[in-house]
Structure 1
Amino acid sequence: MFTRATLIGLSPLLLVSMVAGCSNDNGPFTDAEICRASVATALNKDPSIFSVDDVNGKLVYVSYHEQDSWKHDIYRCKIEGAQAIWATVKGPWKTRHTDDQLTFVINDDKLTVVDTDAAGKQSKKRYKFAQLKVDTPNKSSITS
């Protein structure tokens, strides 16, 4: 039977275990790579057509060009825990209950992005690290 002294004695150990279990270890993936894959998944596009334009603190800016129409779209993204939150460059964050939610799981060199719609229907896209590797952009901030 546990006594109060035993529980107090275990508290630091439990706290360390809980904190260790909540680490934000993204393995080999950077926030830029996770954002690139997440926005591509949300838009049902191949991540190879997306460029990482800027990383400004926790914000990642990705874009793509549509070859046929010369359309150039820019998106913002940020990683919060195991969730990728995104928006158009000037639009509101996609955080309403009616918006699709993007979460991700990392297993070694594989990233799985799960897109869950408001009704709970999920679609998953899996990417290998080599598919997403990006260099940090050298451009100045695109928001200036």
Structure 2
Amino acid sequence: MARYLAITILSVMMTLSTSSFAKAQSDNSLICRATIAAIFNKSIDEVKVQSEKSEITHVTYVRLSDTSVWGNKCKISDNRVIWATENGRWRDSDFDEIVTYEKIKSEIKIRQSFSDGSSIEESFHAE
């Protein structure tokens, strides 16, 4: 019960701390949120910006199955998004999928392209 309460409080604090920031989010923040949402099958609203530091955006989401908080980070180069888990490696090797984005008006499209030639594309409404 105490763990659930702590996670709930943390989730509320993350929402409150990012709600005023959400209106002033940079394109990089939105693109990172959309990328992590696409990769981990989340809604963009579940992915919260924690910080933007020297072109790296840090985000988190709560995994509902066990209420654990997961952190990821993104950096953007041209139309490519390179991501990593909070303490993991950047996904930029020849064996990793290539993640690209396209922003058209209020829509962000995230495309994951795999080495076998297949790809997945998901669109998100930019706030």
Give the TM-score taking structure 1 as reference length: 0.67
Residue 67 of structure 2 corresponds to which residue in structure 1? 70
Stretches of structure 2 that go unaligned for 5 or more consecutive residues are 1-24
User: In the alignment, is residue 110 of structure 1 matched against residue 97 of structure 2?
Assistant: no
Q: Is the 8 A contact 1:49 1:64 kept in 2?
A: yes
Partner Cα distance (2:118, 2:41) in 1: 15
Q: After the TM superposition, list the runs of 4 or more consecutive aligned residues in structure 1 that deviate by more than 2 angstroms.
A: none
Residue 60 of structure 1 corresponds to which residue in structure 2? 57
Q: Is the 8 A contact 2:44 2:124 kept in 1?
A: no
Partner Cα distance (2:27, 2:79) in 1: 13
Size of the aligned set, in residue pairs, is 103
Q: CA deviation at 1:33?
A: 0.6
Q: Is the 8 A contact 2:51 2:59 kept in 1?
A: yes
Partner Cα distance (2:125, 2:26) in 1: 10
Q: CA deviation at 1:77?
A: 0.5
- Per-residue CA distance 1:26-67 (angstroms, 9 max, x = gap): xx9610010000111122222211110111120000011123
Q: CA deviation at 1:129?
A: 1.6
1:79 to 76, 81, 106: 76
Partner Cα distance (1:88, 1:58) in 2: 16
Structure number having the greater strand percentage: 2
Partner Cα distance (1:49, 1:107) in 2: 22
> Helix, strand or coil for the counterpart of 2:96?
coil
1:127 to 121, 124, 127: 124
Partner Cα distance (2:74, 2:55) in 1: 8
- Per-residue CA distance 1:67-92 (angstroms, 9 max, x = gap): 33021110010111001100001111
Give 1 or 2 for the bigger CA radius of gyration: 1
Stretches of structure 1 that go unaligned for 5 or more consecutive residues are 1-27, 131-144
Give the TM-score taking structure 2 as reference length: 0.75
Residue 48 of structure 1 corresponds to which residue in structure 2? 45
Residue 21 of structure 2 corresponds to which residue in structure 1? none
